[in-house]
Amino acid sequence: MKKYVLKPLKLLAFLTLFTLAEFLAQPIVQLSADIINNDYLTDLIKIILETLAAVLIVKVFLWKKSFREIGLYLKVNKNILYMAIGGLISGLAGILIILAAGGFTFDRFIWNKLFLEDIIPALIMGILHSMGIAITEGIVIRGYVYKLLDLKNIYLGVILASLVYVLINILNILTLGFNILPILGYFLFTVLLSLIFILTGNLMYSIVFHGAWYFANMYIFSPLSAQTYGVIMLNPTDKILLNGGEFGIMGSAVFILIMFIADILLFVKIKGKKN
């Protein structure tokens, strides 16, 4: 009975400190922006602070245990490359399917108006930003929260950890108005990453997949948030069900369908592997 009381309290304390740390990082980033007056360096500071905050808080709650306790093994092998390619291809494929279905129209290449010295820093920042997001969400949700739940039914653990992620992001989603589709999109994508973790047994793989997917959707194309500009600029059409409208690809019915199918396939693969 005691553990059923302590776990929710520990989870609440963890999420509170994590949110507080992310919030406290914002004034430092703003101060840096005022002093440095360089967008690339300001973004770099923001990425480092937010990722470092997540790493430190997870480490505090792990205490003397290593990150291996949450399934993070720093192995560099060909499977890492496969995950990066898989994330990149899946990210690009999803957008191309929506583009072919009429959800987007091609506008222009953004970077053909930038100097080479602008392209290289932008690419580097894109990679760092994408991996920073992937590391933060990976160790917090699929790492610590999932491990803390420690349920015998791993799939129930995946669902609950994914719901925690949705709750963390719910305010950002609701600022654009209530819509069940982006909520479902965030949930199913988080489930996908969690299933990759369960299948491979290493958080590193789901982190690399996530980072590559994010890079494809934020820095090659730009529909992830519908408010950023990638290498290729796409304009959303009036087919909001296809492109997600203001919510970006996370609110796309096509994306949600793809995620649902991918989740089912991974679930079947994991079940088959266990049997």
Where does the pLDDT of residue 113 fall: very low under 50, low under 70, confident under 90, or very high at 90 and above?
very low
Q: What pTM value is reported for the model?
A: 0.89
Which residues have C-beta within 8 Å of that of residue 134, sequence separation ≥ 6? Answer: 207, 208, 210, 211, 214
Q: Six-digit token pair at 133?
A: 């997001």
Q: What is the 3-state secondary structure (H, E, C) of 161-211?
A: HHHHHHHHHHHHHHCCCCCHHHHHHHHHHHHHHHHHHHHHCCHHHHHHHHH
Q: Return the domain boundaries, the chain.
A: 68-274
State residue 7's pLDDT score: 82
Contact call for residues 219 and 110 (beta carbons, < 8 A): no
Mean pLDDT of 196-225: 87
75-79, 195-199, 226-230: range with lowest mean pLDDT: 226-230
Q: In angstroms, rounded to a whole number, what is the distance separating the alpha carbons of residues 240 and 87?
A: 25
Which residues have C-beta within 8 Å of that of residue 200, sequence separation ≥ 6? Answer: 79, 206
Which residues have C-beta within 8 Å of that of residue 232, sequence separation ≥ 6? Answer: 106, 109, 110, 220, 221, 222
Which residues have C-beta within 8 Å of that of residue 129, sequence separation ≥ 6? Answer: 43, 47, 218, 219
Query: In this predicted model, what pLDDT tens digit does every residue of 152-163 receive, in sequence order?
Result: 888 888 999 999
Query: In this predicted model, what pLDDT tens digit does every residue of 37-89 receive, in sequence order?
Result: 777 677 788 888 989 999 999 999 998 889 999 999 987 788 899 999 999 99
Where does the pLDDT of residue 224 fall: very low under 50, low under 70, confident under 90, or very high at 90 and above?
low
- Which of 5-9, 94-98, 102-106 is modeled with the greatest confidence? 94-98
Q: In angstroms, rounded to a whole number, what is the distance separating the alpha carbons of residues 134 and 20?
A: 19
Q: Is the pLDDT of residue 1 over 60?
A: no
Q: Six-digit token pair at 140?
A: 């917090």
Q: In angstroms, rounded to a whole number, what is the distance separating the alpha carbons of residues 179 and 160?
A: 21
Secondary structure of residue 31 in the 3-state scheme:
helix
Q: Six-digit token pair at 127?
A: 């990679």
Mean pLDDT of 128-140: 93
State residue 262's pLDDT score: 94
State residue 37's pLDDT score: 75
Mean pLDDT of 212-231: 72
